[in-house]
Amino acid sequence: MTQHQSEFPVAGPELDADWWRGAVIYQIYPRSFQDDNGDGIGDLPGITRRLSYVASLGVDAIWLSPFFTSPMADMGYDVSDYCGVDPMFGTLAEFDALLEEAHRLGLKVIIDQVLSHSSDQHPWFKVSRSSRDNAKADWYVWADAQPDGTAPNNWLSVFGGPSWEWDGIRKQYYLHNFLASQPDLNFHNADVQDALLDTVRFWLDRGVDGFRLDTVNFYFHDADLRSNPPAQGANGGIGADAPDVNPYGMQQHLYSKTRPENLEFLERFRALLDEYEGRTSVGEV
Protein backbone atom coordinates (compact mmCIF):
# COMPACT_ATOMS: atom_id res chain seq x y z
CA MET A 1 0.00 0.00 0.00
CA THR A 2 2.87 2.41 0.71
CA GLN A 3 3.79 2.50 -2.96
CA HIS A 4 0.55 4.35 -3.70
CA GLN A 5 0.80 6.89 -0.90
CA SER A 6 3.85 8.62 -2.32
CA GLU A 7 2.07 9.17 -5.63
CA PHE A 8 -0.63 11.45 -4.24
CA PRO A 9 -0.61 14.82 -2.49
CA VAL A 10 -1.64 14.82 1.15
CA ALA A 11 -2.69 18.45 1.49
CA GLY A 12 -6.19 17.54 2.66
CA PRO A 13 -9.57 18.16 0.99
CA GLU A 14 -10.01 21.30 -1.07
CA LEU A 15 -12.44 23.85 0.28
CA ASP A 16 -14.34 24.12 -3.01
CA ALA A 17 -18.10 24.30 -2.59
CA ASP A 18 -18.56 22.83 -6.07
CA TRP A 19 -16.13 19.95 -5.65
CA TRP A 20 -18.96 17.48 -6.35
CA ARG A 21 -19.50 18.73 -9.92
CA GLY A 22 -18.09 16.03 -12.18
CA ALA A 23 -16.65 14.19 -9.19
CA VAL A 24 -15.99 10.45 -9.36
CA ILE A 25 -17.44 8.81 -6.24
CA TYR A 26 -16.47 5.31 -5.11
CA GLN A 27 -19.18 3.51 -3.13
CA ILE A 28 -18.05 1.30 -0.26
CA TYR A 29 -20.38 -1.21 1.39
CA PRO A 30 -18.55 -1.67 4.69
CA ARG A 31 -19.78 -5.17 5.49
CA SER A 32 -18.15 -6.78 2.46
CA PHE A 33 -15.26 -4.42 1.67
CA GLN A 34 -12.34 -5.36 3.95
CA ASP A 35 -12.25 -7.40 7.14
CA ASP A 36 -9.38 -6.32 9.38
CA ASN A 37 -10.14 -8.17 12.61
CA GLY A 38 -10.75 -11.62 11.12
CA ASP A 39 -14.39 -12.04 12.11
CA GLY A 40 -15.59 -12.42 8.53
CA ILE A 41 -17.26 -8.99 8.41
CA GLY A 42 -15.82 -5.88 6.80
CA ASP A 43 -15.03 -3.03 9.16
CA LEU A 44 -13.96 0.61 9.34
CA PRO A 45 -10.26 -0.12 10.00
CA GLY A 46 -10.29 -2.29 6.89
CA ILE A 47 -11.65 0.59 4.83
CA THR A 48 -9.02 2.93 6.28
CA ARG A 49 -6.26 0.49 5.34
CA ARG A 50 -7.44 0.40 1.73
CA LEU A 51 -7.96 4.13 1.22
CA SER A 52 -4.58 4.66 -0.40
CA TYR A 53 -5.59 2.12 -3.05
CA VAL A 54 -8.93 3.90 -3.56
CA ALA A 55 -7.07 7.20 -3.94
CA SER A 56 -4.77 5.58 -6.51
CA LEU A 57 -7.81 5.02 -8.75
CA GLY A 58 -8.17 8.78 -9.14
CA VAL A 59 -11.56 9.08 -7.47
CA ASP A 60 -12.61 12.26 -5.68
CA ALA A 61 -14.76 10.88 -2.88
CA ILE A 62 -15.99 7.74 -1.16
CA TRP A 63 -19.62 7.06 -0.28
CA LEU A 64 -20.06 4.83 2.77
CA SER A 65 -23.23 2.77 2.95
CA PRO A 66 -24.75 2.71 6.47
CA PHE A 67 -22.42 1.76 9.31
CA PHE A 68 -24.74 2.97 12.08
CA THR A 69 -25.99 0.88 15.00
CA SER A 70 -28.65 -1.42 13.56
CA PRO A 71 -30.30 -4.83 13.99
CA MET A 72 -29.44 -5.29 10.27
CA ALA A 73 -32.89 -6.41 9.15
CA ASP A 74 -32.35 -4.31 6.00
CA MET A 75 -28.57 -4.34 5.66
CA GLY A 76 -28.14 -1.36 7.95
CA TYR A 77 -30.90 0.77 6.44
CA ASP A 78 -32.83 0.19 9.69
CA VAL A 79 -31.03 2.52 12.06
CA SER A 80 -31.35 2.19 15.83
CA ASP A 81 -28.80 4.93 16.67
CA TYR A 82 -28.14 7.71 14.17
CA CYS A 83 -25.01 8.83 16.03
CA GLY A 84 -23.48 5.44 16.76
CA VAL A 85 -21.24 3.02 14.89
CA ASP A 86 -22.43 -0.57 14.92
CA PRO A 87 -19.90 -2.70 16.85
CA MET A 88 -19.59 -5.09 13.90
CA PHE A 89 -17.93 -2.24 11.99
CA GLY A 90 -15.89 -0.68 14.77
CA THR A 91 -16.06 2.43 16.91
CA LEU A 92 -16.67 6.13 16.54
CA ALA A 93 -12.96 6.73 17.09
CA GLU A 94 -12.22 4.38 14.19
CA PHE A 95 -14.63 6.34 12.01
CA ASP A 96 -12.78 9.53 12.93
CA ALA A 97 -9.51 7.85 11.96
CA LEU A 98 -11.02 6.82 8.61
CA LEU A 99 -12.17 10.39 7.98
CA GLU A 100 -8.78 11.81 8.88
CA GLU A 101 -6.95 9.41 6.56
CA ALA A 102 -9.37 10.07 3.70
CA HIS A 103 -8.84 13.80 4.02
CA ARG A 104 -5.07 13.32 4.23
CA LEU A 105 -5.27 11.55 0.87
CA GLY A 106 -7.48 14.28 -0.61
CA LEU A 107 -10.63 12.17 -0.60
CA LYS A 108 -14.03 13.54 0.40
CA VAL A 109 -16.30 11.35 2.53
CA ILE A 110 -20.06 11.03 1.89
CA ILE A 111 -22.21 9.01 4.28
CA ASP A 112 -25.73 7.62 3.99
CA GLN A 113 -28.54 9.26 5.92
CA VAL A 114 -31.66 7.12 6.38
CA LEU A 115 -34.05 9.75 7.70
CA SER A 116 -37.43 8.60 6.38
CA HIS A 117 -37.67 5.69 8.80
CA SER A 118 -35.82 4.15 11.72
CA SER A 119 -35.55 0.65 13.13
CA ASP A 120 -38.34 -0.46 15.43
CA GLN A 121 -35.49 -0.96 17.93
CA HIS A 122 -34.71 2.78 17.99
CA PRO A 123 -35.37 4.27 21.45
CA TRP A 124 -37.68 6.86 19.83
CA PHE A 125 -40.00 4.16 18.53
CA LYS A 126 -39.93 2.18 21.74
CA VAL A 127 -41.20 5.25 23.57
CA SER A 128 -43.66 6.17 20.81
CA ARG A 129 -45.37 2.77 20.81
CA SER A 130 -45.62 2.59 24.62
CA SER A 131 -48.76 4.78 24.81
CA ARG A 132 -50.80 7.38 22.95
CA ASP A 133 -49.88 10.23 25.28
CA ASN A 134 -46.12 10.03 25.82
CA ALA A 135 -43.62 12.71 24.77
CA LYS A 136 -42.91 10.97 21.45
CA ALA A 137 -46.42 9.64 20.81
CA ASP A 138 -46.61 11.30 17.39
CA TRP A 139 -42.96 10.95 16.34
CA TYR A 140 -44.08 8.13 14.05
CA VAL A 141 -47.11 7.81 11.77
CA TRP A 142 -49.89 6.25 13.83
CA ALA A 143 -53.52 5.89 12.77
CA ASP A 144 -56.68 4.24 14.01
CA ALA A 145 -58.11 1.22 12.26
CA GLN A 146 -61.17 1.59 10.10
CA PRO A 147 -64.44 0.51 11.76
CA ASP A 148 -64.01 -3.02 10.40
CA GLY A 149 -60.46 -3.28 11.78
CA THR A 150 -58.71 -2.92 8.44
CA ALA A 151 -55.82 -0.55 7.70
CA PRO A 152 -56.40 3.21 7.50
CA ASN A 153 -56.02 3.31 3.70
CA ASN A 154 -54.76 1.36 0.70
CA TRP A 155 -51.08 2.31 0.84
CA LEU A 156 -48.66 -0.50 -0.01
CA SER A 157 -45.12 -1.30 1.07
CA VAL A 158 -42.29 -1.21 -1.47
CA PHE A 159 -41.23 -4.57 -0.03
CA GLY A 160 -44.67 -6.14 -0.47
CA GLY A 161 -48.01 -6.18 1.33
CA PRO A 162 -49.76 -3.29 3.11
CA SER A 163 -47.65 -0.42 4.43
CA TRP A 164 -49.52 -0.55 7.74
CA GLU A 165 -48.71 -2.78 10.72
CA TRP A 166 -51.05 -3.29 13.67
CA ASP A 167 -49.50 -2.64 17.09
CA GLY A 168 -51.24 -4.35 19.99
CA ILE A 169 -49.75 -2.02 22.59
CA ARG A 170 -51.21 1.22 21.22
CA LYS A 171 -54.03 -0.57 19.43
CA GLN A 172 -53.28 1.45 16.31
CA TYR A 173 -51.58 0.94 12.97
CA TYR A 174 -48.18 2.45 12.19
CA LEU A 175 -46.86 3.26 8.73
CA HIS A 176 -43.89 1.47 7.18
CA ASN A 177 -43.05 2.02 3.52
CA PHE A 178 -40.49 -0.77 3.65
CA LEU A 179 -40.15 -3.56 6.24
CA ALA A 180 -42.58 -3.71 9.14
CA SER A 181 -39.51 -3.29 11.36
CA GLN A 182 -38.82 0.08 9.68
CA PRO A 183 -41.51 2.45 10.99
CA ASP A 184 -41.83 5.79 9.20
CA LEU A 185 -40.96 8.92 11.14
CA ASN A 186 -43.58 11.66 11.22
CA PHE A 187 -42.04 14.65 9.46
CA HIS A 188 -45.19 16.69 10.09
CA ASN A 189 -43.88 16.96 13.65
CA ALA A 190 -41.34 19.80 13.91
CA ASP A 191 -39.62 18.09 16.85
CA VAL A 192 -38.87 15.10 14.62
CA GLN A 193 -37.31 17.35 11.99
CA ASP A 194 -35.20 19.07 14.65
CA ALA A 195 -34.03 15.79 16.14
CA LEU A 196 -33.03 14.40 12.74
CA LEU A 197 -31.21 17.60 11.78
CA ASP A 198 -29.33 17.37 15.08
CA THR A 199 -28.05 13.94 14.04
CA VAL A 200 -26.94 15.38 10.70
CA ARG A 201 -25.10 18.16 12.52
CA PHE A 202 -23.36 15.49 14.62
CA TRP A 203 -21.66 14.12 11.50
CA LEU A 204 -21.02 17.57 10.01
CA ASP A 205 -19.19 18.52 13.18
CA ARG A 206 -17.03 15.41 12.79
CA GLY A 207 -16.03 16.63 9.32
CA VAL A 208 -17.99 14.57 6.79
CA ASP A 209 -18.21 16.24 3.39
CA GLY A 210 -21.63 15.16 2.21
CA PHE A 211 -24.67 12.96 2.52
CA ARG A 212 -26.51 10.51 0.36
CA LEU A 213 -30.17 10.83 1.38
CA ASP A 214 -31.87 7.45 1.28
CA THR A 215 -35.47 7.41 -0.03
CA VAL A 216 -35.54 11.20 0.13
CA ASN A 217 -39.02 11.49 -1.41
CA PHE A 218 -40.57 9.32 1.33
CA TYR A 219 -40.09 11.82 4.14
CA PHE A 220 -43.63 13.17 4.13
CA HIS A 221 -47.00 11.50 3.78
CA ASP A 222 -50.42 13.04 3.17
CA ALA A 223 -51.60 14.26 6.57
CA ASP A 224 -55.19 13.30 5.69
CA LEU A 225 -54.13 9.72 4.84
CA ARG A 226 -56.02 9.72 1.54
CA SER A 227 -55.88 6.47 -0.43
CA ASN A 228 -53.79 6.35 -3.59
CA PRO A 229 -55.62 6.14 -6.94
CA PRO A 230 -54.87 3.38 -9.46
CA ALA A 231 -51.85 3.91 -11.67
CA GLN A 232 -52.46 5.03 -15.23
CA GLY A 233 -51.16 3.16 -18.27
CA ALA A 234 -51.58 -0.07 -20.13
CA ASN A 235 -49.69 -2.19 -17.60
CA GLY A 236 -51.13 -0.49 -14.54
CA GLY A 237 -47.74 0.92 -13.65
CA ILE A 238 -46.28 -2.39 -12.54
CA GLY A 239 -42.50 -2.43 -12.62
CA ALA A 240 -41.95 1.29 -12.16
CA ASP A 241 -40.74 1.03 -8.54
CA ALA A 242 -41.01 -2.65 -7.64
CA PRO A 243 -40.87 -6.08 -9.29
CA ASP A 244 -43.95 -7.20 -11.23
CA VAL A 245 -44.79 -9.70 -8.49
CA ASN A 246 -45.45 -6.76 -6.17
CA PRO A 247 -48.69 -4.78 -6.76
CA TYR A 248 -46.97 -1.63 -5.45
CA GLY A 249 -46.64 -0.38 -9.01
CA MET A 250 -50.38 -0.60 -9.58
CA GLN A 251 -50.93 2.57 -7.56
CA GLN A 252 -50.25 6.20 -8.38
CA HIS A 253 -48.46 7.23 -5.20
CA LEU A 254 -49.91 10.72 -4.88
CA TYR A 255 -50.41 10.60 -1.14
CA SER A 256 -47.92 8.13 0.30
CA LYS A 257 -44.74 9.84 -0.97
CA THR A 258 -43.23 12.71 -3.02
CA ARG A 259 -45.28 15.29 -1.15
CA PRO A 260 -44.67 19.03 -1.62
CA GLU A 261 -43.73 19.39 2.06
CA ASN A 262 -40.55 17.45 1.25
CA LEU A 263 -39.10 20.56 -0.36
CA GLU A 264 -39.66 22.67 2.75
CA PHE A 265 -37.71 20.20 4.87
CA LEU A 266 -34.93 19.99 2.28
CA GLU A 267 -34.60 23.76 2.47
CA ARG A 268 -33.95 23.34 6.19
CA PHE A 269 -31.48 20.55 5.44
CA ARG A 270 -29.64 22.69 2.88
CA ALA A 271 -29.54 25.65 5.26
CA LEU A 272 -27.82 23.42 7.82
CA LEU A 273 -25.23 22.28 5.28
CA ASP A 274 -24.60 25.90 4.30
CA GLU A 275 -23.35 26.56 7.83
CA TYR A 276 -20.35 24.41 6.87
CA GLU A 277 -18.04 25.06 3.96
CA GLY A 278 -18.07 22.78 0.93
CA ARG A 279 -20.74 20.31 2.08
CA THR A 280 -23.05 18.65 -0.42
CA SER A 281 -25.84 16.10 -0.66
CA VAL A 282 -27.54 13.84 -3.19
CA GLY A 283 -30.96 12.28 -2.86
CA GLU A 284 -32.27 8.87 -3.88
CA VAL A 285 -35.66 9.40 -5.58
For every one of its 285 residues, what pLDDT tens digit does the chain have, with 9 covering 90 and above? 333 333 433 334 446 789 999 999 999 999 999 999 999 999 999 999 999 999 999 999 999 999 999 999 999 999 999 999 999 999 999 999 999 999 999 999 999 999 999 999 999 999 999 999 999 999 999 999 999 999 999 999 999 999 999 999 999 999 999 999 999 999 999 999 999 999 999 999 999 999 999 999 999 999 999 999 999 864 555 446 778 788 999 999 999 999 999 999 999 999 999 999 999 999 999
Per CATH, the number for 117-184+222-255 is: 3.90.400.10
Q: Active site includes 275?
A: yes
Whether the model clears a pTM of 0.85, i.e. scores above it, the answer is yes
Give me the half-sphere count of Cα atoms (radius 13 Å) on the Cβ side of residue 192: 22
The edge-to-edge listing of strands for the beta sheet with 25-28 is 25-28, 61-64, 108-113, 210-213, 280-283
pLDDT recorded at residue 245 = 84
3-state DSSP call for residue 249?
helix
Determine the pLDDT at residue 193.
98
Alpha-helical runs (H) found in the chain: 2-5, 30-33, 44-56, 92-104, 123-128, 190-206, 261-273
CATH 3.20.20.80 residue ranges in the chain? 2-115+188-219+259-283
CATH superfamily of 2-115+188-219+259-283: Glycosidases (3.20.20.80)
70: DSSP letter: -
Q: Which of 94, 101, 184, 214 is an active site residue?
A: 214
Check 7, 148, 224, 275 and give the catalytic one: 275
Burial letters 136-174, b for 16+ CB under 10 A, else e: bbbbbbbeeeeeeeebbbbbbbbbeebbbbebeebebbb
Active-site residue flag, 244? no
* Contact by Cβ (8 Å): 256, 157: no
**pLDDT number for residue 15:** 60
CATH 3.90.400.10 intervals, the chain: 117-184+222-255
